[in-house]
């Protein structure tokens, strides 16, 4: 009888902990799968039996989905699909520009939407999160374009089902954007597509080749889809080093990868760049220059870029698209940020400068040789890891963190700092998620 009372007392005392554990796992399941937990979930049943803890069950969920080296799900089933869908959508929400810009020609805008996978940039995070052995810094240092792998991959017809391959100037080579349920990620071929179209006005044929999915270095920020979504310039654009610069792309990089907004410099940092009598309006005062000194000098590494328009309403076929083209440098020049426009600027060596104050207020000033060096420079700083950690932490806990220096003293920010420093060291996004669910900040919600 005494033994019975001891067991009963134990069950009475542990029941609240079991209930809390059940709630913790159910919340974890809902966050990781975007769905309600079924009562027959194997991990949940093991938790109820006391075989594993709620934290172990949550960790097992984080470990459940694995992509192989080709981007395919190693264990394809309904649970893996839910996890993949959840985090791909989460990653897509992190970008300020989610659609393609209107570049002027309606048919070519439509062509882009039919051919290009707009979720590709976000897939760089998905690839790094779920592929064993892939480092987090591939997001900034990778050398391949990435797209989602879907149930219709590639689709046999356009999204609206009205256009076929021969409605496009690429003919049989035309590959439509994947559609349907996400099933993994893939690496599109960087080989050029051959195009041919007839200009109806003069009956002349234009032929050529263009590498639609050519990657330009620095992971997702050098992905052609990311560049096209954020360049926001027309086909006539040519950088001149002053007024005309691919600065909208640089501004997006700062927002998307650093979770920061301009200005990132103090007035005292830009005194050397202020030219009172400059023909370039924003160089005449420190107020404007604090923004431009960061984004324009970063944009210098992409100085040769322009959207190349293929086909028009006056050609046959009519559908081609706008694609990223970077003019190779033909003129070597020592880097300087001139306050005067230079018509040959886009033809010069793409050197630039990474200039900003980090989240602690420390001035960062690094020369850049090209676009690839920008990704490497950013990956060497703590800022992008702080940004990524804050986004996963916000998703898992609901707490929003503004990554600015005046919040460094709060306890929650210190927890975020530890996550970011650890991520920079171990380079494992999956481990970052496991570290988050171990935090009291997550468990005590």
| pLDDT tens for each residue of 85-113 | 999 999 999 999 999 999 988 899 999 99
User: pLDDT tens digits, residue range 261-276?
Assistant: 999 999 999 999 999 9
Under 8 Å between Cβ of 24 and 54: yes
Model confidence pLDDT, tens digit, residues 54-90: 999 999 999 999 999 999 999 999 999 999 999 999 9
Task: Please tell me the predicted confidence (pLDDT) of residue 18.
Answer: 55
Whether residue 278 is found in the same domain as residue 219: yes
Asked whether 57 and 46 are in contact (CB, 8 A), the reply is yes
Q: Let me know whether 406 and 437 are in one domain.
A: yes
The domain total for the chain is 3
> What is the mean predicted confidence (pLDDT) over 246-269?
97
Looking at the domain assignment, is residue 233 inside a domain?
yes
Specify whether 119 is located in the same domain as 267: yes
Per-residue pLDDT, averaged over 2-27, amounts to: 59
Q: Tell me: pLDDT of 154 over 80.
A: no
Q: Please check whether residues 418 and 315 belong to one and the same domain.
A: no
Q: Residue 354 pairs with which residues in a beta bridge? A: 366
Q: Is residue 85 part of a domain?
A: no
Q: Are 437 and 327 contained in the same domain?
A: no
Q: What is the pLDDT of residue 140?
A: 98
The model carries a pTM of 0.94
CB 231 within 8 A of CB 246: yes
Domain that includes residue 396, residue range: 382-443
What is the tens place of the pLDDT at every residue in 410-430? 888 899 999 999 999 999 999
| pLDDT of 253 over the 60 cut | yes
pLDDT reading at 116 higher than 50: yes
Q: Are residues 148 and 238 in the same domain?
A: yes
Axis crossing angle, helix 54-64 with helix 2-33, rounded to the nearest 10: 30
Shared-domain flag, residues 351 and 393: no
Q: Is residue 156 part of a domain?
A: yes
- My answer on whether 37 and 123 are in the same domain is no
Q: Is there a single domain that holds both residue 174 and residue 199?
A: yes
- Can you tell me the distance from the alpha carbon of 237 to that of 284, in angstroms, rounded to the nearest whole number? 24
CA dihedral over 403, 405, 409, 415, signed as positive or negative: positive
pLDDT number for residue 12:
38
CA 208 to chain centre: 31
Integer Cα distance of 12 and 45 in angstroms: 20
Convert the pLDDT of each residue in 355-410 to its tens digit: 999 999 999 999 999 999 999 999 999 999 999 999 999 999 999 988 876 655 68
Residue 165 lies in a domain: yes
- Using the structure block, give the residue that is written with the tokens 């328009």: 309
The per-residue pLDDT for 15 is: 44
Strand, coil or helix: 419 = helix
* 98 and 147 assigned to the same domain: yes
Strands (E), 335-389: 352-357, 363-368
Residue 21: pLDDT band with limits 50, 70, 90: confident
51 plus 113 within the same structural domain: no
Residue 22 sits in the same domain as residue 137: no
Average pLDDT score, the chain:
92
pLDDT tens per residue, range 194-230: 999 999 989 999 999 999 999 999 999 999 999 999 9
DSSP assignment of 143-155: -S--EEEEEESS-
């Amino acid at each position: 009888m005494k033994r019975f009372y001891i067991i009963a007392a134990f069950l009475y005392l542990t029941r609240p902990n079991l209930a809390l554990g059940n709630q913790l796992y159910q919340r974890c399941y809902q966050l990781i799968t975007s769905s309600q937990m079924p009562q027959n979930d194997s991990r949940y049943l093991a938790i109820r039996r006391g075989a594993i803890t709620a934290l172990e069950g949550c960790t097992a969920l984080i470990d459940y989905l694995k992509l192989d080296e080709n981007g395919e799900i190693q264990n394809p089933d309904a649970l893996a699909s839910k996890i993949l869908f959840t985090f791909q959508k989460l990653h897509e929400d992190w970008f300020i520009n989610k659609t393609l810009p209107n570049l002027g020609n309606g048919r070519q805008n439509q062509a882009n939407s039919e051919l290009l996978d707009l979720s590709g940039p976000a897939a760089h995070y998905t690839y790094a999160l779920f592929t064993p052995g892939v480092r987090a810094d591939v997001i900034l240092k990778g050398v391949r374009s990435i797209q989602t792998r879907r149930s219709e991959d590639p689709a046999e017809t356009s999204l609206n089902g009205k256009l076929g391959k021969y409605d496009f100037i690429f003919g049989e080579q035309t590959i439509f954007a994947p559609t349907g349920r996400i099933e993994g990620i893939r690496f599109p071929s960087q080989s050029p597509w051959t195009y041919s179209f007839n200009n109806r006005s003069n009956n002349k044929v234009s032929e050529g080749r263009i590498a639609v999915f050519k990657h330009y270095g620095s992971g997702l920020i050098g992905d052609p889809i990311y560049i096209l979504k954020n360049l926001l310039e027309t086909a006539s654009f040519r950088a001149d080093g002053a007024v005309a610069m691919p600065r909208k792309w640089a501004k997006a990089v700062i927002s998307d990868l650093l979770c920061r907004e301009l200005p990132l410099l103090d007035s005292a940092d830009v005194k050397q760049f202020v030219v009172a009598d400059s023909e370039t309006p924003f160089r005449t005062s420190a107020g404007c220059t604090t923004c431009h000194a960061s984004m324009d000098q970063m944009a210098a590494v992409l100085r040769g870029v322009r959207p190349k328009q293929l086909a028009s309403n006056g050609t046959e076929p009519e559908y081609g698209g706008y694609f990223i083209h970077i003019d190779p440098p033909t003129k070597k020049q020592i880097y300087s940020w001139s306050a005067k426009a230079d018509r040959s600027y886009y033809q010069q060596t793409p050197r630039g400068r990474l200039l900003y104050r980090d989240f602690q207020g420390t001035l960062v000033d690094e020369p850049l040789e090209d676009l690839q060096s920008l990704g490497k420079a950013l990956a060497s700083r703590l800022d992008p890891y702080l940004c990524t950690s804050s986004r996963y932490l916000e998703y898992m806990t609901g707490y929003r963190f503004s990554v600015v220096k005046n919040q460094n003293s709060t306890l929650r920010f210190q927890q975020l700092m530890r996550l970011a420093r650890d991520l920079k060291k171990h380079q494992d996004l999956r481990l970052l998620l496991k570290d988050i669910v171990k935090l009291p900040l997550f468990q005590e919600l």
